[in-house]
Structure 1
Amino acid sequence: MLAPRPAVFGDYPLRKDDIAGSVVCIVCFFVLAVTNMIIFRRNLARGHKFVPSGAMFGLCMARIVTFSMRLAYTTHPSNVNISIAASIFIAAGVVILFVLNVVFSQRVFTAQHPSRAYVGSLFFNIMKMYYISIIAFLIVLIVSTGVFYHTNATVMKGISQFRKVAMVYFTLAAFMPILIVTAAYAIPRSEHDKTWPVHYAHWVGKYSGVYSPDPRNMPSATDFYSEIRDGDNRTPVHVIPPSDRGAREVSLALIIVPSVILTFATAVRTASSFVTAEEIFKPWFDYRVTMYLCIALTEISVEITWIIGRVDLRFYIPDNDKQWKKLAAVAGNEKVGVMDLDVDEETEVEPERANRSSVEVEVGDKSRQG
């Protein structure tokens, strides 16, 4: 008599249920993939490069592969290789959403506390290490899933422990954006934060509908490079639009609500990895409907929320812009004299340090001519 199969997250596939469910998920993610790519390409054509839109497209493509593997597993239930591939894609895809949500929350913190979050600061380096750790745990999860069917019971037990640690870490990663935005507003802004040189995409007109930035409204190279006050050697920070421009409550909701949804869904998957049961007595979180809710519905909901909420406008920073770099080159080549510009505290940015001496010479010549 064969031993009963262990319960697994998402249960074992059945033709009558999984074929229809997988096809619906593939269609939904395909529509979202097309939408994200349209937004990404349209913005890019207007000099507005928002990498997270490309990452959201990548998640949709990964999920199309995920449920295609589920379909293949349904029609070939005895193929262990297809089963492993399906499990790997189910485990790995959602990490993209974790990372993007942490990125958005980091940008909120940076906008509130530029004196603590500029490039090279302690906070910036901590976040960099945090992203590296997520990648490391993702590799652990993928490898452990791929070799989980090892015949040695001792090896399988050790691998199971690695998977549990990785899943717990991802649950914390899903919740981390809430902690970051809470810290951003719980920590009082210092005088350094209020006067720190920052720059945001002030040419973006609104943050809803099908609006795309008009490149004709982007500032010139001269407007980009305003001279920092003499003796100010602080590192300028590129930030998201301030709260009075982008409805702070909406921006925070676009971080907190997905974080709550992702944390719950990941916690359910984590619980599944900690409970050992037989298929016939499987707990509720190992049913296939739970898998479709925690994977497909959760990720589709988050992507739709971000698309409608226009995260590509609310969380955009000019530092990622190709047009920014082109204008920087123009400003450097033409040795733009920028010391006569009126500097706005909200739009103050770093000049080309290498051109400082030439700019001062030009200003000096103008004053002598006057």
Structure 2
Amino acid sequence: MSAQQDGRPLSGPPYPPPGAITGGVPTVSVDVPISAVFLALFIGSAVGHMTIFKVNMRRGHKFIMSALMFGFSMARVATMVMRIVWAARSTNIRVAIAAQIFTSAGIILMFIINLIFTQRILRAAHPHFGWHKAVSIGFKALYALIILMLIMVITTTVQSFYTLNRNTRRIDRNIQLTAASFLTFVCFLPLPLVILGVIVHRKTRLEKFGIGRWRTKVGILLASTALLTLGAGFRCGTAAMPLRGRNNPAWYNAKWCYYFFNFVIEAIVLYLYILVRVDRRFHVPNGSKRAGDYSGRNKQFDKHDSLHSEGWMETRIMSEEEVFDDEEFCDCEEGPLKDVER
């Protein structure tokens, strides 16, 4: 790219960013080693989630979220690769565009995964509400809006590099801020929904699914949502700040902010989901369509269902702690659960 004068490129497009960006322009001495570490971490995450997905599928245990987390890990692998390439070719604006798009795009998969987990928590705790048609439509609308916002972010990001028109860039920035605000809201949404689902008095028996304690499932989802919301809130907040000159960056433009609020948080969540085995904890029977399907009250499980064939959720008497969970939150006419739990 040719030299610049007074902050304006003498040739193009594409043009360099008009101001300071979070993480700055990567350098070989600093960003390549850091990106290489995260590259290894996300490759390990991709291998872990795909291994779990493949093993489960061979056992007839379908858990699509493992494949989605593999996809997100691979998106982050591509992000790190583009960051390294950008460091080696710091004047290549097209590489910078690709790097920024990969940084923004992949995270929506984690938002969708947490929304799916949230919906399962609501359906288990309040089946009449969680399985209501309006609620199901609402979640589907959220998924559609997430995809729409992603398309808007990618389109406006690319366009902003190919124009010097101030009005066009202003419109692009407003669209990006709108999308960032919505995605932050979507990322945060599981927190109030799950908390309300737990504290609101239940009139039906808790319909447990997967393995492990109910409270552990809730805690895992709340923790991961809080971490992802921290990252999304940082990105949204910094995007709304006044644009700073490239030679006068703010503290939030520092490299440590870029890596911590994006990739450190995401790596923690990805490996957390591997370690706690969300593929077992948040699994529900295939074809669940109404209240009672999660626990199998409506039909017998298929003999090939791995949760039974592998002994992960074999019929057993509920422990005293699990009975306490139901007694504490449920005021059912049937009284405490004394039958078997699936």
Q: Flag whether TM exceeds 0.5 (same fold).
A: yes
Q: Give 1:296's aligned residue.
A: 263
Q: Give 1:215's aligned residue.
A: none
Measure the CA separation in 1 of the matches of 2:221 and 2:149: 23
Which residue identity does 2:6 align to in structure 1? Answer: L
Determine if the alignment matches structure 1 residue 50 to structure 2 residue 63: yes
Q: Give 2:319's aligned residue.
A: none
Q: Which one of the candidate residues 240, 251, 258 is aligned to 2:209?
A: 240
Measure the CA separation in 2 of the matches of 1:182 and 1:93: 27
1:161-215, CA deviations, whole angstroms, 9 ceiling, x for partnerless residues? 000011111111111111111121233223xx439xx7xxxxxxxxxxxxxxxxx
Contact 1:101 1:259 in 2 (8 A): yes
Offset, 1:70: 0.8
Q: Which one of the candidate residues 113, 121, 137 is aligned to 2:133?
A: 121
Q: Which has the larger radius of gyration?
A: 1
Q: Give 2:111's aligned residue.
A: 98
Offset, 1:69: 0.7
Contact 2:26 2:86 in 1 (8 A): yes
Q: Which one of the candidate residues 218, 227, 240 is aligned to 1:252?
A: 218
Determine if the alignment matches structure 1 residue 314 to structure 2 residue 281: yes
Q: Which one of the candidate residues 42, 45, 49 is aligned to 1:29?
A: 42
Contact 1:9 1:288 in 2 (8 A): yes
Determine if the alignment matches structure 1 residue 18 to structure 2 residue 26: no
Evaluate the alpha carbon distance shift between residue 29 and residue 344 of structure 1 in structure 2; reply closer, same or farther with a 3 A threshold: closer
Q: Give 1:334's aligned residue.
A: none
When the two structures are superposed, what TM-score results if normalisation uses the length of structure 2? 0.78
1:89-137, CA deviations, whole angstroms, 9 ceiling, x for partnerless residues? 001111111111111111100101112222x621111111111111111
When the two structures are superposed, what TM-score results if normalisation uses the length of structure 1? 0.72
Offset, 1:259: 0.9
Which residue identity does 1:248 align to in structure 2? Answer: W
Which structure 1 residue ranges, 5 or more long, are not aligned? 199-238, 322-342, 352-370
Evaluate the alpha carbon distance shift between residue 162 and residue 344 of structure 1 in structure 2; reply closer, same or farther with a 3 A threshold: closer
Which residue identity does 1:253 align to in structure 2? Answer: G
Which structure 2 residue ranges, 5 or more long, are not aligned? 9-17, 301-342
1:322-333 map, 5 Å: none
Determine if the alignment matches structure 1 residue 270 to structure 2 residue 221: no
Contact 1:137 1:166 in 2 (8 A): yes
The SS at the match of 1:7 is coil
Q: Give 1:170's aligned residue.
A: 183
Offset, 1:248: 1.8
- Identity value in percent: 27
The SS at the match of 2:262 is helix
Measure the CA separation in 1 of the matches of 2:141 and 2:119: 13
Q: Give 1:75's aligned residue.
A: 88
Q: Give 2:314's aligned residue.
A: none
Contact 1:10 1:291 in 2 (8 A): yes
Offset, 1:50: 0.5
Which residue identity does 2:21 align to in structure 1? Answer: V
Measure the CA separation in 2 of the matches of 1:113 and 1:271: 34
Measure the CA separation in 2 of the matches of 1:71 and 1:9: 16
Q: Give 1:2's aligned residue.
A: 6
Evaluate the alpha carbon distance shift between residue 34 and residue 74 of structure 1 in structure 2; reply closer, same or farther with a 3 A threshold: same
Relative contact order, CA 8 A, sep 6+: which one is greater? Answer: 1
Which residue identity does 1:108 align to in structure 2? Answer: I
Which residue identity does 1:349 align to in structure 2? Answer: N
Which residue identity does 1:269 align to in structure 2? Answer: R
Evaluate the alpha carbon distance shift between residue 74 and residue 319 of structure 1 in structure 2; reply closer, same or farther with a 3 A threshold: same
The SS at the match of 2:201 is coil
Question: What is the root-mean-square deviation in Å for CA atoms of aligned residues?
Answer: 2.2
Offset, 1:320: 5.7
Which residue identity does 1:308 align to in structure 2? Answer: L
Runs of 4+ in 1 over 6 A off after TM superposition: none
